[in-house]
Amino acid sequence: MISATTTGSTTGETSEAATEAEETVWEPVAGDMPARLPTAGWQDDAVPTDPLPQHCPTPRELDDLELLVSGALAPLTGFNEPGSPVTLSLPPEVAGQDVELVDPEGLPLARVTGDGSVASLTHAQFGPFRRLYLTPGEVRERHAGSVFVPVSGPLTRGQVATLPTDPPVVLLVLVGAGTPEGLSPVGLIRATLAAAEALPQASVVAVPLASHGDPTADHLLGHQVVGNYAAGDEVRGVTDDDEGDLSDEVAAVVDFDRPPADERGLVLFFTGLSGSGKSTLARALQDRILEGGRRTVTSLDGDVVRRNLSAGLSFSREDRETNIRRIGWVAAEVSRHGGVAICSPIAPFDETRQQVRAMVEDAGGEFFLIHVATPLEECERRDRKGLYAKARAGEIPEFTGISSPYEEPDDAAVRVDTTGRSIEDALADVERALAAAGLLDLG
* Domain residue ranges of the chain, discontinuous segments joined by +: 1-258, 261-436
CA nearest to 376, candidates 342, 403, 412, 343: 403
- The model carries a pTM of 0.77
Q: Do 142 and 237 meet the contact criterion of CB atoms below 8 Å apart? A: no
Strand (E) or helix (H) holding 324: helix 317-336
Give the separation between CA 227 and CA 244, rounded to whole angstroms: 28
Q: How many residues comprise the chain? A: 443
The superfamily CATH assigns to domain 261-436 is: P-loop containing nucleotide triphosphate hydrolases (3.40.50.300)
- C-alpha Rg value of the chain to the nearest Å: 25
Residue 132: C-alpha distances to residues 33, 126, 175, 248 (Å): 18, 11, 12, 24
Give first-to-last CA distance, the chain, whole Å.
Answer: 50
Strand (E) or helix (H) holding 432: helix 423-436
Task: Check pLDDT > 50 for residue 142.
Answer: yes
7 phi/psi in degrees, rounded to 5: -145, 180
Three-state secondary-structure class, residue 424: helix
Strand (E) or helix (H) holding 353: helix 350-362
Tens digits of residue pLDDT in 320-333: 899 999 999 999 99
Tens digits of residue pLDDT in 38-97: 444 433 444 445 689 999 999 999 999 999 999 999 999 999 999 899 999 999 888 888
Strand (E) or helix (H) holding 340: strand 340-344
CA nearest to 149, candidates 137, 94, 161, 214: 161
Q: Do 272 and 371 meet the contact criterion of CB atoms below 8 Å apart? A: yes
- Of 123-132, 359-368, 382-391, 414-423, least confident by mean pLDDT is 123-132
Task: Check pLDDT > 50 for residue 9.
Answer: no
H runs (alpha helix) in 13-153: 16-22, 59-70, 136-143
Strands 147-151 and 118-120: unpaired
DSSP classification of residue 78 = B
